[in-house]
Amino acid sequence: MLDINNLQASVEGKAILKGLDLHVKAGEVHAIMGPNGSGKSTLAQVMAGREAFSVDGGSVTWDGQDLLAMPIEERARAGLFLAFQYPVEIPGVSNAYFLKAAVNAVRKHRGLPEFDAMDFLTRVKAEMKAVGMKEEFLYRSVNEGFSGGEKKRNEVLQMALLEPRLAILDETDSGLDIDALKVVADGVNRLRSPDRALIVITHYQRLLDYIVPDQVHVLSHGRIVRSGGRELALELEEKGYGWIGDSGEVHHQPPAAGAAS
Amino acid sequence: MSSIDTWVSEFRARSAQLPGAALPWLAAQRQHAIERFADEGWPTRRHPRWQHTSLAFMEQQEFAPAAQPVDAAAALAALRGDETGHWLVFVGGRFAASLSDIGPLPSGALVLSLAEALESHSEDIEAAFGNAADGDSPAALNTALAADGAFVRLAPGVALDAPLHLVSIAGASEASRHLRHLVVAGSGAQATVVEHYIGGGQSASLTTAVTRIMAEADARITHLKLQQEAEQAIHLASIASVQARGAHFASHSLSFGARLARNDIRTRFDGEGCEALLNGLYHVDGRRHVDHHTCIDHARPLGNSREFYRGLLDGQSRGVFTGRVVVARDAQRSDAMQRCDNLLLSRQAEADARPELEIYADDVKCAHGATVGEIDEDSLFYLQSRGLDEIHARRLLTYAFAAEALERIELMPLRSRARAALLARLPGGELLEELL
Ligand SMILES: Nc1ncnc2c1ncn2[C@@H]1O[C@H](COP(=O)(O)OP(=O)(O)OP(=O)(O)O)[C@@H](O)[C@H]1O
Ligand SMILES: [Mg+2]
């Protein structure tokens, strides 16, 4: 479903992704871990189309399409979703308007009828209940004054409403209490299906207790330097990143049998 | 031509027919005012209050009546919609009784056209009219030429049940119109006054307006101005209020139309514990120009003033804001806050925001801030990453920037009205219509 080959990206002349390879099949969940500043968010943002990063080489093919050639909104409409590490506050735009505009943009693209106000409210209220958000969050400005955890729930809400085919969660678990963590995990697990793929960027093996990944990758210095089954996450938790070495040497472990449950 | 001499001859031709021409005090004020105008001429950049807005071009400017007939009734119907309240309509600067709908007023409330009131209440008007020395030379021109407007007097404790709308529609036969509105609110009285300015065809025309508000102790006056004149119009206005102890004054200035619009907004705290909110929102594009020049005079202690101005500047337009705050020596524990934020929608647009603080008391809180920025890239990316196309996202963010100013308008029908007027100005406003 997703093939990233030798991806290189930089910002303001500084190379960040230095030949990154990643292959994700439909139905799989991949976790990406790695030290701060290694390029995880950069990868996520480049995939979503952030123009501040320049792509200097390599390719990203998504269902046979050249992802990098698609405009930002086309990627979203085609089913790519990025849950932001730092969701943006947009004063003056109500969350309700924002969610409805997003859902309808995507529905229109998929040839589905756009939701009217009533249908939308019914739908969004059900999803808000599932992610544990009070209705008042519909009428507040997008993310404005939301706590860290509330912002993350709002990202999960958007993901649930947009029903992406490829979702990238960038540290959606960071700063969450244990209940919120379950909400995120639940949101992801509800989305799991044979025709969808998910990439979960996290620092904590804890999340992977709830979202069991098919593969775990370590991103360091702009490359995937090690890949393995979920036990790799446990190993990282125990030993940190030091033992991997960060010369950019690439190791590959085939996923342990049974890890892809 | 709009040269000084043209206006002086216009005054000579018109003055004998102006309402109240037979009143000696008024004739004298008008005469002094035209002399002052002739003496000072149009303000230029050399004038300290006009450094960013020169009216030197007015010497050369031709003004002409609208080329086409004007259907004032249709224009009013479109503006008013189904809104209730009290409506006074002025066409070409003259009260149009047949279009107006003052409706029932609470006892103790008097609402008349100025021309009418000069017949029946000339002493009240003399006290409220102001004089030739007020404001700058455009205000003096208004003092000389204003033929009509509204006269509103509220007895102590009287509250108007619904907003009073004062609508100015440019007529077909005049090249300029000059309105003067007077609001006298007794102690504890309350009212919301909305001034609308619409119309003006393809040819350049001039509107001058002077609004004077006197708020006695604890009165609460909300003033909202919605300026949507045609793109060739020159709009020169001043709003001046005087507040007695504990009076509350709110001004919302929404400036969307006209080629050049200047609003001088000032209030003086003449008693302790006054409050003022000056809120403004402007949108200009093309080569249009808008200037808000505000002054809050904290003459007495314990006053609180809040100013918030926001501008959307497109094309090669220019938006100017000056926020003058004076705190007198014995106006202790005054609290003044001021912000001006501009969003540049084009690289060629220009914003000027300048605080002018003159503080003579020592126990005061004064804060000011100004920003000029473009649409936030992070917000734009966030919206696009959710499937909104770039144009929709930009419009949404532009609207959102302005919405903060709208949220300060407390009365919902007025807020919706202001919002609709803004959306009508913004390209693609219909896309955002469901925000209403
Ligand atoms: N706009 C930018 N300008 C300059 N440097 C940037 C910019 N964005 C990212 N970087 C740099 O790129 C590197 C990778 O950042 P990135 O955000 O991808 O790291 P990360 O792996 O997500 O880290 P974390 O775990 O802390 O979230 C960092 O050194 C960061 O400082
Ligand atoms: Mg990151």
Q: What is the ipTM of this complex?
A: 0.93
Q: Which ranges of chain B have pLDDT less than 70?
A: 1-2, 430-431, 433-436
How remote is the CA of residue A161 from the centroid of ligand 2, in Å? Answer: 24
A50: nearest CB among B376, B379, B381: B381
State the Cα–Cα distance between residues B43 and B51, nearest whole angstrom.
Answer: 9
Residue A243, min C-alpha distance to chain B (Å): 36
A72: nearest CB among B385, B401, B404: B385
Give the per-residue pLDDT at A238: 81
Q: Beta B86-91 vs B164-169: how paired, if at all?
A: parallel
Query: Which of B320, B339, B209, B357 lies closest to B279, judged by CA?
Result: B339
Contacts of B406 (CB under 8 A, 6+ apart): B281, B415, B418, B419, B422
Across the interface, whether the CB atoms of A91 and B388 are under 8 A apart is answered: no
Q: Beta A54-62 vs A65-66: how paired, if at all?
A: antiparallel
The overall longest dimension of chain A from CA atoms, in Å, is 56
B380 near A CB under 8 A: no
Domain boundaries, chain B: 61-377, 378-436
Cβ–ligand 1 distance for A40 under 6 Å, the answer yes
State the Cα–Cα distance between residues A50 and A73, nearest whole angstrom.
Answer: 11
State the Cα–Cα distance between residues B229 and B362, nearest whole angstrom.
Answer: 44
Q: Beta B318-327 vs B289-298: how paired, if at all?
A: parallel
CA A67, A18, A234 angle in degrees (round to 5)? 90
Ligand 1: which of A16, A18, A43, A220 to mutate, most ligand atoms within 8 Å of CB?
A16
- For residue A163, give both structure tokens: 């029903």
State the Cα–Cα distance between residues A119 and A130, nearest whole angstrom.
Answer: 17
Ligand 1 atom 5 nearest Cα: A11
- For residue A54, give both structure tokens: 């320049």
Contacts of A111 (CB under 8 A, 6+ apart): none
Residue A75: its chain B contacts at CB < 8 A? 385
Q: Which ranges of chain A have pLDDT less than 70?
A: 245-261
Residue A50: its chain B contacts at CB < 8 A? 381
By the 10 Å C-beta count (0-12 exposed, 13-18 middle, 19+ buried), B266 is classed as buried
A105: nearest CB among B376, B388, B404: B388
Give the per-residue pLDDT at B64: 87
- Asked if B58 and B205 count as a contact pair (C-beta separation under 8 A), the reply is no
- For residue B339, give both structure tokens: 């912000």
Residue B401: its chain A contacts at CB < 8 A? 92
Give the per-residue pLDDT at B436: 46
- For residue B108, give both structure tokens: 């103790």
Cβ–ligand 1 distance for A75 under 6 Å, the answer no
State the Cα–Cα distance between residues A99 and A150, nearest whole angstrom.
Answer: 15
State the Cα–Cα distance between residues B169 and A45, nearest whole angstrom.
Answer: 53
- For residue B96, give both structure tokens: 């149009």
- Asked if B293 and B262 count as a contact pair (C-beta separation under 8 A), the reply is yes
Q: What dihedral angle (degrees, nearest 10) is formed by the CA atoms of B120, B122, B124, B129? A: 130
Ligand 1 atom 25 nearest Cα: A36
Ligand 1 atom 19 nearest Cα: A37
- For residue B20, give both structure tokens: 């109240």
- For residue A210, give both structure tokens: 């709830």
Number of Cβ within a 10 Å radius of residue A140 = 17
Q: Beta B233-243 vs B205-215: how paired, if at all?
A: parallel
How remote is the CA of residue A13 from the centroid of ligand 1, in Å? Answer: 13
Contacts of B64 (CB under 8 A, 6+ apart): B175, B203, B204, B205
Residue B282, min C-alpha distance to chain A (Å): 17
Query: Which of B61, B87, B66, B86 lies closest to B76, judged by CA?
Result: B87
The total number of residues shown for chain A amounts to 261
Contacts of A56 (CB under 8 A, 6+ apart): A8, A9, A10, A15
Across the interface, whether the CB atoms of B384 and A52 are under 8 A apart is answered: no
State the Cα–Cα distance between residues B102 and B160, nearest whole angstrom.
Answer: 12
Cβ–ligand 1 distance for A175 under 6 Å, the answer no
